[in-house]
Amino acid sequence: MARDEVAGNFANFDPFRVPSPCYVIDIAKLEDNLRILSDVSAKADARVLLALKAFSCFALAEMIGGFLHGTAASGLWEARLGRTRFQGAVHTFAPGLKQDHLAELQTLSDHLIFNTIGQWKRFKPSLRMNDDCAFGLRINPRHSEAENPLYDPCAAWSRLGSPIPQLEGEDLEGLTGFHIHALCDQGFEPFDRLLGATEEKASGLLERINWLNLGGGQMITAQGFDRAALIGRLRDLRRRTELDLYLEPGTAVALNAGALVTEVLDTFWNDGHVAVMDCSATCHMPDVIEAPYTPALLGTETLDRAEDMDPRDEHVVRVGGPTCLAGDVIGTYRFDKAPKTGDRRLFLDQAYYTMVKTTTFNGTPLPSIALWDPRTDDVRVIKQFGYEDFEGRLS
């Protein structure tokens, strides 16, 4: 992805207009993404849900509700958030469900999706079968497309979904739909292959349901994604099967719509130039360590190869967070201008899988949250956290 594409409107944002650290959401870019998803939905005759596990900024629920059909929740609390803060339908799936959560989950959810056929059989007697909530089952097509095993639900010994062969001959009465999800920020071609494998392996099963949830992981709003092919594929599937179709993107909703403002706390030399920021990989951008990846930093070039990291160059700097974790390293960058204490910087594309994953490890403060509309240049800080938020998680 090109440097200018990632920076977007943030190339013109003044980081001193908000506290540091602070997540800043670009409302205009978010709306652009939502319009694209709404257009795909209309042309493909498929419903699109926001995956709350990736982005759950309910201050923007009204905007999101104007374009999408609802939310996809990963458990009781997200289902409650979807029902109370957002608009539209709530579809809930979790690999592990508790008996004492079922009644509320059924009340909150339009679709409640079970992980295995055994789970469905165990909980079925406790469910209100004539309620407005429809029940579904996650199926595992055992077709891997995710490159990183950490994000591959179809890997061996996976705990996600019932392998399709296990469902042959099973009594599926009461289940009206299936859910599949095996992509991670990928283009149309992996989606097409996944769907093809699912149709081939589950051909007899698809005749027994009314709806199919195709999960998320499709980078629908990214430049270069073949949206015309996606629309055509979904329309064809809908025509042949007459199934109601659902997509539940997360990353695609908030792609390039957020930045994390941070301040340089210290710079020094230790076999190379080092900068310590007031934001943390482990606390505020955990996918930097878990994925792993190096986030783009405005005004710098990301350096991934050791041969490009000349420690004698004052513009080549290893950047890390303020925690005691030795691995709290965000990345190595070549700065346009060597950083100094007090500088403010912006890490780009930080709207999804950031705010939903933050921790206060080491007593590290949580970043504030701000909304910015580049069309009017209006900035509004909507949330600031204090010591009480840290203490309140402990006892």
Where along the chain do its domains lie? 3-24+257-391, 45-254
Name the nearest CA neighbour of 139 among 190, 198, 207: 198
Q: pTM for the whole thing?
A: 0.95
The two three-digit tokens of residue 334, written as one number? 């070549």
Residue 124 has pLDDT above 80, yes or no: yes
Q: What is the pLDDT of residues 268-294, one digit of tens each?
A: 999 999 999 999 999 999 999 999 999
Name the band, by pLDDT with cuts 50, 70 and 90, for residue 321. very high
The two three-digit tokens of residue 137, written as one number? 């089952």
Beta strand 111-114 with 300-303: parallel, antiparallel or unpaired? unpaired
Cβ contacts of residue 349 below 8 Å, gap of 6+?
6, 255, 256, 258, 259, 295, 296
Domains 3-24+257-391 and 45-254 share a fold: no
Q: What is the pLDDT of residues 228-259, one digit of tens each?
A: 999 999 999 999 999 999 999 999 999 999 99
Residue 62 has pLDDT above 70, yes or no: yes
pLDDT at 2: 40
Cβ contacts of residue 14 below 8 Å, gap of 6+?
none
Name the band, by pLDDT with cuts 50, 70 and 90, for residue 131. confident
Check whether 287 is labelled as a binding-site residue: yes
Name the band, by pLDDT with cuts 50, 70 and 90, for residue 3. very low
Name the band, by pLDDT with cuts 50, 70 and 90, for residue 5. low
Distance CA 170, CA 157 (A): 21
Q: For residues 177-181, give the mean pLDDT.
A: 97
Name the nearest CA neighbour of 115 among 52, 162, 183: 162
CATH classification number, 45-254, choose in 3.30.70.520, 3.40.50.300, 3.50.50.60, 3.20.20.10 = 3.20.20.10
Name the band, by pLDDT with cuts 50, 70 and 90, for residue 92. very high
Q: For residues 115-131, give the mean pLDDT.
A: 93
Distance CA 29, CA 364 (A): 29
CATH of domain 3-24+257-391: 2.40.37.10
